[in-house]
Amino acid sequence: MIVDTHCHLNDKRFENDLEEVIRRAHDAGVIGMIIPGADPDELPRAIEIAEAYEKIYFAVGVHPYDKEKFDIDYLKAHIEHPKCIAVGECGLDYFRLPEDDAAKAAEKSKQKEIFRAQIALAKTYRKPLIVHIREASQDSLDILKEENAGEAGGILHCYNASPVLLELAEQGFYYGIGGVVTFKNARKLVEILPQIPKEKLLIETDAPYLTPHPHRGERNEPFYTTLVAQKMSEILSIPQPELEEMIMQNTRTIFKGYF
């Protein structure tokens, strides 16, 4: 059994065959899925899907690229919904910063402000965070520590293989491993994977993005968590059924009572 802890089922690329996508995943042993928040305009669709399927849940949050749409009251209006089980994805993304120094500083400052606000939200409502970090590992680590984010805990979504983030395992954080681990250029992730405490590993797809090998270039979907588990089993020298059972227990630990 597997839970896909990060899949954007509310993406328009699933509009025409969502039921088939979910059925295909269930047939492969994917018993549950979590739809992260990103663009607030897409939250209603996430809620609609979660309400329609027993083991599909959603999170409220704003991706750093959608920071202009951040409205804390809008998130609060949905955070107590019985199928909302996390806050995020939120965090820092420095991949597309402006070239101008002043604009770059302003962008970073705004991202940090909104990240801190969502950490506070998670702590207040006692829900784990789903954290997005891209080319911003040290700043993200600093903020998570300064804000005592370990009180909420959470997932480092699509863990970027940064060694500085390993210390968060001792502060209630888990490491989401997805299709990137199957890529031929994923040497850093392959090398660091055995250093992550096994009780802190989770599986995700980030569907429809980051499709694992050998399906790169196609739309990703929760069914492909099986390929991620297969590759992790190979790297960690753990039989796949045993690995999946271990990660299922990890999922139930962070999301108590939902799976």
pLDDT in tens, 57-94: 999 999 999 999 999 999 999 999 999 999 999 999 99
Predicted confidence (pLDDT) per residue in 141-188, tens digit: 999 999 999 999 999 999 999 999 999 999 999 999 999 999 999 999
CATH number of 2-254: 3.20.20.140
133 by Cβ neighbours in 10 Å (0-12 / 13-18 / 19+) ranks as: buried
- Per-residue pLDDT, 216: 95
Whole-angstrom distance, CA of residue 27 vs CA of residue 23: 6
Residue in 225, 223, 233, 133 with CA at minimum distance from that of residue 193 = 233
pTM above 0.75, yes or no: yes
- Per-residue pLDDT, 249: 98
Predicted confidence (pLDDT) per residue in 178-221, tens digit: 999 999 999 999 999 999 999 999 999 999 999 999 999 999 99
Q: Where are the domains of the chain?
A: 2-254
